[in-house]
Structure 1
Amino acid sequence: MRCGDGRTGSLGSGWQLEQLRAFGYRPPKPQFQLPRPIAAIVQDKIRAHRRKAPPPPPAPTLEQRPLKDASLRVGCIATKAGMTQEWDEHGVRVPLTVLWIDECQGVMKRWGFKGMPATHGHSLSHRSPGSIGSRQDPGRVWKGKKLPGCMGNERRTVHNCLVYKVDAARNVLYVRGQVPGPAGKSLFLRDSRLAAPALRATWGLPFPTHVPSAEAEAAAPAPGDVTAAPDPAAVSVYRNPADPYLSYRADVDYFPISWKKGE
């Protein structure tokens, strides 16, 4: 590190050190080597403590549990990516909202901050806003300072949205219809409470979460690996059991169309 006094590896005067501390710099703590006899005694004490320590508790086992009437599943936070459309097996156009499930960020998500440098001395502070106040004068944080918080003071909820398609390889959900908010806005997804408990029991939803088998977990790509092509069979798509054109076909015989020569 080079400071104002022209020397490398020093901090210069005390005034320069105070300036660096104001920007979040922390001088390294001095480390001293213990004498060899004392270090050997410390290592023996550590080994004896590890031998006497109780074994760690076993990892909890995940198992599928039935979804009961009073069961509530944990929702997730998604980012609205935009809208698209698809056609189902009956030829009906279905408008879809694309929701991307990923990390949920603070000042970087809310205000578009660049973030602090990912270098030495910035441990666990890469996404922090940095300095937020001044010194003795004014001695407070100004109103309107861009800090983490809620993005807006109003909440809009749309009930009974149908999850049309789930692409687990890309962490994308396709919801039928539109949801409030512009592209890039964070949304909270959870189970609808307006559906009857008897109807929810027939859906066969996993509770509390999906537990993959050992074979599926071994065949899954590594987290963040975008080079692996997703399996099309792993994408679950909603199938419409009722044909909306069935009434038209029976009444007016619109399908199929038969063309005659000369007409």
Structure 2
Amino acid sequence: MSAVSRGLISRLRTLLTPHTSTTTIQFRAFSTEILTPDNEVIQPRIIEAKPGVMTKQSKRTGAIAIKCGMTALWDKWGKRVPISVLWFDENIVSQVKTVEKEGIFALQVGCSHKKAKHLTKPEVGHFRAQGVPLKRKLKEFPVTEDALLPVGTTINVRHFLPGQYVDVTGITKGKGFQGVMKRHNFAGGPASHGASKSHRSGGSTGQRDAPGKVFKNRKMPGRMGGGQQTVKNVWVYKIDPGRNLMWVRGQVPGATGNFVFVKDAFDEKPDITKLPFPTYFAPEDEDEESLEPMTVDLGEVDPFMAAD
């Protein structure tokens, strides 16, 4: 027979013991209303899905993409240019955060589908409370007040434009424990005379009695990769609205199949007069599957030629 806790026994005795006085049970009422310090009810914010006018202070939401791999293009000078392919898989707005309730303006975006049995109960409850499909990956993007979107709004690849610059954030490939030559690009020791099994060592790491220690931030062997990294000012070469694909120049962090977060570049800011704000709203009669890929306008001569 399993042991019963003392707390459970004391609770049972309390319930079974008759009381002479009437006990009043009070229930706390839970409400979703937002109250001010003076207990005044704040009406919920009404957010409409309609195009707006972007200003220099406006900040749009980002999107979640899946790294599909890499390809290559050759320019007119015969130089190989690496190209990364990103897939925007069913991005929707799964939650809206406002100053009145959460203290910030932000949009939570969900990407890709996932079954309920592969999610935790709190995650399933979150999606059902918001009334959106179950998503595999979530990411919160801070935005300005004029860039808010209602829950359920679709964000596709046409949220970005060919020719603009974006910042891509992802988790780099894990390399495990590596030495200083691979991790920090050290030159290594001499490969001939005087080197006895120390060709790839880091050399001296400190002094003698003064100061008698190794300074902080000394480059030494250790864990390499597996951390978050942002590649800034990635140039968008082409987008395919029919398949929600984007071609960007250069490498993006992460292995093939990993999630990456794409947003407007902070340094190389795009032209606000051309960007769809707060996002691209497709017309009702538009057939996405019949849309042709959109390539950046580079003039009469395209410096890139597709590789065979």
TM normalised by structure 1 equals: 0.43
**Max radius of gyration: which structure?**
1
Higher strand share: 2
Q: Which has the higher helix share?
A: 1
Q: TM-score, normalised by structure 2?
A: 0.37
